[in-house]
Amino acid sequence: MTLTELEKQVGELEDIEAIKRLQRLYVYALASQQWDDMVDCFADDGIADVYDWGPKKGKEEIGSMFRENFEGRVLPTHGHFVTQPIIEVDGDKATGIWMLYLFLPGPEMTWTQCRYDCEYVRTGGGWKFGYMKFTRPWPSEAVVTGGKD
Amino acid sequence: MATEEELKKRIGVLQDIREIEELHRKYVYCLCSRQWDELLDCFADDAVTDIGSNGLRLGKKEIEEMVYGKFDKLERTPGHMAAQPVITVDGDMATGYWILYLFSKNLPGEWVQGRHECLYRKINGKWRFGYVKYVRPWPPEPSDH
């Protein structure tokens, strides 16, 4: 293996680490209601596609969506964590899927399984979301019941 | 193009991240299975802990007293799960934070989300905890004041 080939392989492993870090920082910011920090995870022309609210493009639209819809709904008493990443890097772009578990307070255990489908782009400020889709619950009721819903 | 030395260093950082994550996960496995001696082996001799309501413990001896005096006295050890590591390596030092979930019928809602904030140190080629702070719940619940 040449040094150039080795550098490419090392670079891809570093990219995967950086992308995992971005996604985790995004969820830490979500859990602690730091809407601006969440927006910082997006590229300038990034798209957020959350629930059925329709895709929002650019930091201004995305920030407004978070503040208007999450303020008062995403609470410190909610648990959030992401796991099970599958990341594929292709040069300055990458794709990734993750599970997000949402735990809600209650007298008994309440949880929901959700999914992120993401495209990441390498920018001057490091890896950012080019596109982020959040689906809750995932899979849909129709899928988990084998179409008997 | 990077030199061989530069690439070795970059690979070393990736290996360090993996080893630190494994150290942290081993600690959580040991918490669950009450393997106290293996758990204590995760700490540097002069490590400091600040875990929940147990206050500051300075050095392995004080940590050991907490482990056998508090953790071992629990009637039932909750389920523990660490997730979402964010590790930053700087030579033989590193920082990291994790989400740590506890699961137990004795908890309201049967779960609580907490956070580990840690310093790690590489000693004789092996990563150890230099400092562990555990806060629960995380984020803190809103103050009534």
| Interface predicted TM-score (ipTM) of this complex, two decimals | 0.92
Whether domain A3-144 has CATH 3.10.450.50: yes
SS (H, E, C) B39-91: HHCCEEEEEEEEEHHHCEEEHHHHHHHHHHHCHHHCCCCCEEEEEEEEEEEEC
Question: Can you give the pTM of this predicted structure?
Answer: 0.94
- Higher pLDDT: B130 or A141? It is B130
What tokens does B78 get? 């909750």
The count of other CB atoms within 10 Å of the CB of residue A51 is: 11
pLDDT at position A149 is 55
Model confidence at A141: pLDDT above 50: yes
Distance from CA of B60 to the nearest CA of A (A): 31
Residue B143 lies in a domain: no
**Chain A touched by B143 (CB under 8 Å):** no
Residue B102 lies in a domain: yes
**Chain A touched by B110 (CB under 8 Å):** yes
- What confidence tier does A103 reach under pLDDT thresholds 50, 70, 90? very high
The count of other CB atoms within 10 Å of the CB of residue A70 is: 15
* Domain spans in chain A, listed from the N-terminal domain onward: 3-144
**Chain B touched by A74 (CB under 8 Å):** no
Measured between CA atoms, the residue of chain A closest to residue B111 is: A109
Interval B95-139: pLDDT, tens: 999 999 999 998 989 999 999 999 999 999 999 999 999 999 999
B109, A28: Cβ pair inside 8 Å? no
- What confidence tier does A33 reach under pLDDT thresholds 50, 70, 90? very high
Mean pLDDT for chain A? 95
The closest of A85, A74, A63 to A31, measured between CA atoms, is A74
Residue B145 lies in a domain: no
Q: From the list B7, B109, B142, which residue is nearest A10 (CB)? A: B7
Distance from CA of A45 to the nearest CA of B (A): 26
Residue B77 lies in a domain: yes
Pairing mode of beta strands A93-104, B79-90 = unpaired
Measured between CA atoms, the residue of chain B closest to residue A2 is: B4
Residue B88 lies in a domain: yes
- What confidence tier does B13 reach under pLDDT thresholds 50, 70, 90? very high
Q: Which residues contact B1 (CB under 8 A, 6 or more apart)?
A: A3, A4, A7
Model confidence at A117: pLDDT above 50: yes
Residue B141 lies in a domain: no
Number of domains in chain B: 1
Mean pLDDT for chain B? 95
Task: Give the CATH number for residue B31.
Answer: 3.10.450.50
Domain that holds residue B102: 4-135
Instruction: Give, in degrees to the nearest 5, the angle at Cα B100 between B98 and B103.
Output: 165
Measured between CA atoms, the residue of chain B closest to residue A109 is: B109
Chain A interface disruption, residue of B111, B112, B115, most A CBs within 10 A: B111
The answer to whether residues B43 and B57 touch, using CB atoms and an 8 Å cutoff, is: no
Q: From the list A3, A10, A109, which residue is nearest B109 (CB)? A: A109
Measured between CA atoms, the residue of chain A closest to residue B108 is: A107
